[in-house]
Amino acid sequence: MDDVSLTSERRREATPYVDLTRAEWSALRERTPLTLSAEEVEGLRGLGDLMDLDEVRDVYLPLSRLLNLYVGATMGLRGALNTFLDAGNGHGAQSGTPFVIGVAGSVAVGKSTTARVLQALLARWPEHPRVELVTTDGFLLPNAELARRGLMSRKGFPESYDRRALTRFVADVKAGKDEVTAPVYSHLIYDIVPDERLVVRRPDILIVEGLNVLQPALPGKDGRTRVGLADYFDFSVYVDARGEDIERWYLSRFRMLRETAFQDPSSYFRRYTQVSEDEALDYARMLWRTINRPNLEQNVAPTRGRATLVLRKGPDHKVQRLSLRKL
C-alpha cells in the first residue's frame, strides 16, 4: 500500500460515520411498504420544499425502517435495565419511556418537512403508533423579554431560548409523565402565543425539531457539566445543505410568504407586502446575513458531528448523500 492510499485508509478508519450515496441508502429499505400517498406528502411539505414520493421512498422509508429497528433495540435495552433495577426492589425501574428523536439544521433547510414526514411514517408502524412532534420555537423567550435582554436580533441563537424549560419538557416526557405541556410560537405574529399550550400525553415516540437541539448544555455556575437536551435523544438527524443554497431557499420562501401569509393583517411582516419586491428581498437578505447565517455558522453547523444521521441536500432540496454514525 503506498502512502496516499494509506492516508485515505486511515481517514476512513478515523470517522465514526459510514458515508452512503442516495442509491446505496435507498437500497436499504428492504420491504418497507410505502404508506403515504402523494396527496399526504403534499400536505406535509413546507413552503418551497420539493419533497415528493420519490424522496419519501428513497430517503425516508429506509430511515423509518432503521428507526423502527432502533426503537425495538432500545426497548430491549430498557427491559434489561429494568430487570437489573427490579432486583433492587424496583428502585428507579420505569416502563413506557418514549423514544426521543432530535431533528436539527439551519433556518429554511426544511427541518420541519423532514420532521413531519418522519412523524407520519413512524406512526404507521404498529409497535409505535403515537408519535408527537414538538418544535423548539415554542421555547423562544417572548419578544418583550428578548427586547428587554437586547436579544431581538438574536432570535434563534441559543441564548434566545428558555433552555432550561425545553430540557425539562423533554425530560418530563421521557420520564413518562401523563401530561406535559409546551408553549406555542407563531410565525405569523413572530412571537409566543399567549395562553396557548401544546399538550403531549405519553407518546411512543417524541420528535424534537429545532435549530439548536444538538447544542451541548452550558456548564453550571460551579463549572460542572449539566445534562442537556441532546442527552435525552435516542437518535438525531441533522439536515444539511450548502449555505448558498439555504440562503436562496430562505429568500424564495420570503418571496412566497409575501404573497400569502404576510398578507394577513396580523402578520408581523405585513409591511413587506406594501413595499416593492426588491425592497422586501433586501430586508430578507439582511435578516439572513445578520441573524440566520451567523447563527448557522457559529452555533448550528458546529453541532452536525453530534448527529446520528446527516442528510446532505443538493441545490434542488433532494438528499444526495447520507452519513450514518456507526461507532
Ligand X SMILES: Nc1ncnc2c1ncn2[C@@H]1O[C@H](COP(=O)(O)OP(=O)(O)O)[C@@H](O)[C@H]1O
Binding residues: 105-112
Contact with ligand X (CB under 6 A): which of 22, 29, 111, 258?
Answer: 111
Q: How far is the CB of 77 from ligand PAZ (least distance, A)?
A: 30
Q: Please say which residue, 66 or 108, places its beta carbon nearer to ligand X.
A: 108
53 touching ligand X, by CB under 6 A: no
Shortest Å, Cβ 135 to ligand PAZ: 4
Q: Among ligand X, ligand PAZ, none, what does residue 109 contact (CB within 5–8 Å per kind)? A: ligand X
- For residue 194, the Cα-to-chain-centroid distance in whole angstroms is 24
Query: CB of 292 within 8 A of CB of 250?
Result: yes
257 binds ligand X (CB under 6 A): yes
- The answer to the question of residue 261 lying near ligand X (CB under 6 A) is yes
Give min distance, CB of 213 to ligand PAZ, in A. Answer: 8
User: Which of ligand X, ligand PAZ, none is residue 287 near (CB under 5 to 8 Å by kind)?
Assistant: ligand PAZ
**Residue 12 binds which of ligand X, ligand PAZ, none (CB < 5-8 A, kind-dependent):** none
Return binding residues for ATP: 105-112
In whole angstroms, the minimum distance from the beta carbon of 160 to ligand PAZ comes to: 7
Cell of 240: 444539511
Alpha-carbon distance 213 to 134, whole Å? 11
Residue 268 amino acid letter: Y
d(Cα 127, Cα 135) in Å, to the nearest integer?
24
For 206, the 3-state DSSP assignment is: strand
Interaction partner, residue 257 (ligand X, ligand PAZ, none; CB < 5-8 Å by kind): ligand X
Name the helix (H) or strand (E) containing 237. Answer: strand 235-240
Question: Does residue number 164 form part of the binding site for ligand X (CB under 6 A)?
Answer: no
Give the integer Cα–Cα distance in Å for 236 and 216: 13
From the list ligand PAZ, ligand X, none, pick the one residue 174 interacts with, judged by a Cβ distance below 5 to 8 Å according to partner type: none
Which amino acid, one-letter code, is at 32?
A: T
Rounded distance between C-alpha atoms, residue 325 and residue 16, angstroms:
6
Distance separating alpha carbons of residues 286 and 293, to the nearest angstrom:
10
Q: Is position 26 an interface residue for ligand X (rule: CB under 6 A)?
A: no
Q: Is residue 241 near ligand X by the rule CB under 6 A?
A: no
How buried is residue 91: exposed, middle or buried, by Cβ count under 10 Å (0-12/13-18/19+)? exposed
Query: Hunting for cell 459510514 — which residue is that?
Result: 18
Angstrom distance (rounded) from CA 85 to CA 95: 12
Site residues, ligand PAZ (CB under 6 A) = 107, 135-137, 155-156, 210-211, 287, 291-292
Assess 287 for contact with ligand X (CB under 6 A). no
Binding site for ligand X (CB under 6 A): 46-47, 105, 107-112, 187-188, 253, 257, 261, 269
